[in-house]
Amino acid sequence: MKNEFEIKDLNLFYGDFQALKNLSLDIETNKVTALIGPSGCGKSTFLRTLNRMNDLIDSCKISGDINFDNNDIYAAEYDVIYLRTNVGMVFQKPNPFPMTIYDNVAYGPRCQGIKDKRILDKIVENSLKSAALWDEVQDRLKKSAMGLSGGQQQRLCIARAIAMEPKVILMDEPTSSLDPISTQKIENLIDELKKDYTIIIVTHSMQQAARISDSTVFFLLGEIIESGDTKTIFSNPSDKRTEDYITGRFG
């Protein structure tokens, strides 16, 4: 059981405010790891450190180690674009580009220089199939992605991320803006995807975490209170705060 990510003593500051405090964590390969905790406690912030999306914020300062595949991803010589081709992200609100469905999925590969139409066709088909969207869109690949429903758009975003053949897929509350049926579809999808990908998912719904994840990490005020096997965390948490959150006493 290899570790995809090994995080040690991670601290993150937005200016003077410390958002993440001394985090240490291992993410196992081909497992679904859920990050739970009340709003504003750093789950999304932590997720974004893993593909260096925090680089976009000027006031953000980081110390500590994040190792991906035995490389420190914050090292000066580490190529951030390379990182992002291996660590994909799906956002809270579906954000398809205003282009055709085909162009959305082919976007990532095209950026890396892949031009051969046959290769792109194959990538698009495989990704849409893996995202369980192929059947619904195969006859309208050249239509605009903006015409899809919310749930379909989110699956499109997942297909788009998969097209890059990443090792890890980060998901930031991917179903919070969707209806229950779409949510169900995506949860089933995640269960399928973990065979080939490592998934880290931030979720507000404990039921979702309990349903789909193998490991769970509980965040509170920028610290990791407890992490481990999902079943254990939910049935027999070792920290009282974890128990309070899970039983709904706060958050």
Judged by the rule CB under 8 A, the positions of this chain that interact with another protein are: 51, 53, 56, 79, 81-82, 84-86, 88-89, 91, 93, 95-99, 107-109, 111-113, 143-144, 146-147, 157, 160-161, 164-166
Q: How far is the C-alpha of 167 from the C-alpha of 164, rounded, in Å? A: 9
Q: Which residue lies nearer to another protein by CB, 95 or 232?
A: 95
Smallest distance from another protein to CB 248, Å:
31
Residue 98 CB, shortest distance to another protein, in Å, is: 5
Shortest distance (Å) from residue 75 CB to another protein: 15
- Residue 190 or residue 206: which is nearer to another protein going by CB? 190
Question: With respect to another protein, which residue has the nearer C-beta, 67 or 144?
Answer: 144
Angle at the Cα of 177 (from 176 to 178), degrees rounded to 5?
Answer: 95
40 or 147: whose CB is closer to another protein?
A: 147
- Give the C-alpha separation, 225 to 233, whole Å: 11
Nearest-approach distance from CB 42 to another protein, in angstroms:
18
Collapse the DSSP code of 217 into the 3-class scheme (helix H, G, I; strand E, B; otherwise coil) and give the result. strand
- Residue number, 79 or 139, with CB nearest to another protein: 79
Whichever of 68 and 234 has its CB closer to another protein, that residue is 68
Q: Closest approach of Cβ 43 to another protein, in Å?
A: 17
DSSP H helices, the chain, are: 43-50, 80-86, 101-111, 117-130, 134-137, 150-162, 180-193, 206-212, 230-235, 240-246
Contact 33, 216 (CB under 8 A): yes
Distances (CA, A) of 111 to 52, 108, 145, 161, 163: 19, 5, 19, 13, 12
CB contact at 8 A, 64 and 108: no
Token pair for residue 240? 């009282």
CB of 74 to another protein, least distance (A): 16
- Of 150, 135, 137, 149, residue with least CA distance to 100: 137
